[in-house]
Amino acid sequence: MSAGTDHKLFLGARLKRMRRDRGLTQTAMAADLGVSPSYLNHIERNQRPVSAQLLLRLAATYDVDLRRLGQEGPTGEAALSEVFADPLFQGLAVPRHELLHLVDEAPGAAEALLRLYSAFADQRDRARAAVIEGEPSAGGPSPADWVRDHIQSRANHFPALDALGEAVHASLDPTVTGDGFAVLARNRLATRHNLAVRVMPAEVMVEWTRRFDPHRRRLLLSETLSHASRAFAIAYQLALAEHDGELNALAEAARPPDDTSRALLKVSLTNTLAAAILMPYAPFQRMAEATGYDIARLERRFAVSFEQVAHRLTTLSRPTARGVPFFLIRIDQAGNVSKRYASGAFPFARFGGGCPRWRLHDAFATPGRIVTQIIETPDGGRWFTLARTVERQGYDGAGEHHGLAIGLGCELRDAHRLACARGLDLTSPEVTLIGPACRLCHRHPCAERAAPPVDRALTVDDWSKSVSPWPFASA
C-alpha cells in the first residue's frame, strides 16, 4: 500500500451527520461545496475519500475545525469498548471492527447505546447504594452525567457566553485586570444592582462558601475562600444579576430531562460566564499564545487560580482564535474524578478510573509543583500532560487536609507551543505506556495492575510468577 493510500480519509458518517445537523439535503450541501450530489453521495457512503480540497471548502463554508473532524466524538471506539467490557456483556466478545463500524456508520445509534448504558450504570449504582442504606432504589439518569455529556458535546465551548463575558468586562474597564477588576465588579453590584458583598467568618457560614441573601440583597462569602475564589464568586453573582435571562434560555435550549439537570446546567453555564468575565476570551487567548500557555503568568495577569486558568484553557475554540485543544481532569487522592472537560479529544475512560502509571497521581507527593509526562494510550495516541495539586475551595487550614490534583494535557503534536515543554525532547521514543481502568486495559505485563481485564482469561500456573499479579491470555 502506498503512502498516499495510507493517508486517505473516509469520513462519510461524520460528513452525513454534520449535514443533517445543519438541516441540509445532499443537493444543498453539494451546491455549497461546489461538487455534484452524486460525488457527495459516494463520499457519505465511504466509496470515495475526502480530498484535501474538499476539507478546505468544508472549513471555509461551515466553519469546521479540521482538527476535530477526523477525531472520534463523545461516542468513540474507546467509550464503546468500555461499555462492552462490563460483565453484563460477558461472552459476547464484540470484535473491534464491529465497534468501529458502529461508530463510523451509525454514530446516532452508538450515542444512543452509550446513553442507555450510562443510565443503566447509574441506576445500578443507585440500587447498590440503596441496598447498603436499606432504602428503596431510585431510577432515572444522573443529572451530573447528563450535564457533563451536554457540555462535552459542545466541546466545552459556548460562544454566546464568551461574547457576553467580553462585553461585561469591557463595560467595567477593559484596561483593568487582576484584583482591581474584582473591585470594579463589586462596585458594579453595589451601584447598579443594590447588592452588597460581605466576607463572613467560617463559623457563621458553616458549610457554605458562597451564599446570596435576596431579602437583604447581600452576597455572603466565607473567609476561607482565597482572593481568586472570592473574585470568581463576585463574577458569578454579576453574571446572574445581568444575564439571568440569557442563562435560562441557554439551559432551556439544551432540553434537559428534569428540573435538577436544568438547575445544574444553569450553574455550569453561569460558571462559564463568570470565567469569561474574569478572563475575557480575546486578551486571555492572546496572552496564552504569547507566553506559551504559561499558567503562572496567566494566574498573575488575571488574578485567578491555577484551576481557573486550567479550566479556561479547555474552552478556547473560537474559530478565528483557537487555542491548544486541552483536556482537563480533576481527581482526589482516592482517584475519584470530579471534573472532566476537553476542547478536543479526551484519551481516558469515561466510566472507569485512571491509570496508576500516569503521573497525575504522583502530584500528591509534590504538592504545588508541576510534574510533566509524555504518555501513550493503547490506540497509539501520544499526549503531553502536566499535573499539579490544588487546594479544595473553602479549606480553612484546620484539621486533616485532602487536596485535589489537576491534570491538563494536549496531543503531543501541540506540545511545542507550551512553555513547560521547552527543553524537553518531544521526539524521544521513551514514553510512558498507560491504559484506561485496569479492568479495561490489555497492556501486559504491568506491575501496577490492580485487576484483570474482564474480557481476557487468566493464565495462572504454579510454575512461574509474572511481575503482574494478574497474568492473562493475549486474546
Residue 214 reports pLDDT greater than 80: yes
Q: Is 135 exposed, middle or buried (0-12, 13-18, 19+ CB in 10 A)?
A: exposed
- CA torsion sign for 66, 70, 71, 73 is positive
CATH fold of 324-440, please? Beta-Lactamase (3.30.450)
The three grid cell numbers given for residue 411, joined into one nine-digit string: 496531543
User: From CA 271, how far away is CA 311, in angstroms rounded?
Assistant: 11
> What is the b/e burial string over 59-84, where b = at least 16 CB atoms within 10 angstroms of the residue's CB?
eeeeebbebbbeebbbbbbbbbbbbb
Q: Is it true that the peptide bond before 445 is cis, omega within 30 degrees of 0?
A: yes
Order of strands, sheet of 196-200, starting from the edge strand that comes earlier in the sequence: 196-200, 218-222, 210-213
More confident residue, 366 or 290: 290
State pLDDT tens for residues 360-409: 888 888 888 999 999 988 778 899 999 999 988 765 555 455 689 999 99
Which pLDDT score, from 0 to 100, does residue 176 have? 67
User: From CA 472, how far away is CA 360, in angstroms rounded?
Assistant: 27
Least confident piece of the model among 105-119, 377-391, 407-421: 105-119
State pLDDT tens for residues 145-197: 889 888 988 888 999 999 999 999 999 877 766 667 778 888 999 999 999 99
- pLDDT class of 10 with cuts at 50, 70, 90: confident
The torsion angles phi and psi of 462, rounded to 5 degrees, stand at -100, 15
More confident residue, 51 or 9: 51
Q: Please name the residue that has the C-alpha cell 487567548.
A: 285
The model scores a pTM over 0.95: no
Mean per-residue pLDDT, 462-471: 76
The three grid cell numbers given for residue 309, joined into one nine-digit string: 486558568
In the beta sheet, which residues pair with residue 426?
none
Which pLDDT score, from 0 to 100, does residue 390 have? 92
State pLDDT tens for residues 332-352: 888 888 888 888 777 765 555
CATH fold of 159-321, please? Arc Repressor Mutant, subunit A (1.10.10)
Residue 416 reports pLDDT greater than 90: yes
Count the alpha carbons within 13 Å of 49 in the hemisphere toward its beta carbon.
Answer: 10
Q: Please name the residue that has the C-alpha cell 511545542.
A: 416
Mean per-residue pLDDT, 423-429: 84
CATH fold of 9-69, please? 434 Repressor (Amino-terminal Domain) (1.10.260)
Secondary structure of 358-386 in HEC code, one letter for each residue: CCCHHHHHCCCCCEEEEEECCCCCEEEEE
- C-alpha distances in Å from residue 36, one per residue of 29, 39, 343: 9, 5, 33
Residue 353 reports pLDDT greater than 90: no
Mean per-residue pLDDT, 442-460: 77
What residue ranges do the domains of the chain occupy? 9-69, 77-141, 159-321, 324-440
| Mean pLDDT computed over every residue of the chain | 83
Residue 89 reports pLDDT greater than 50: yes
User: From CA 364, how far away is CA 335, in angstroms rounded?
Assistant: 11
The three grid cell numbers given for residue 106, joined into one nine-digit string: 451509525
Distinct helix (H) and strand (E) counts, the chain = 18, 11
More confident residue, 78 or 311: 311
Chain-centroid distance of CA 372 in Å reads: 19
CB atoms within 10 A of CB 53: 11
Query: Which residues, 6+ apart, have CB-to-CB distance to 461 below 8 Å?
Result: none
State pLDDT tens for residues 223-274: 999 899 999 999 999 999 999 999 999 999 999 988 999 999 999 999 999 9
- CA torsion sign for 58, 61, 62, 66 is positive
The three grid cell numbers given for residue 145, joined into one nine-digit string: 452525567
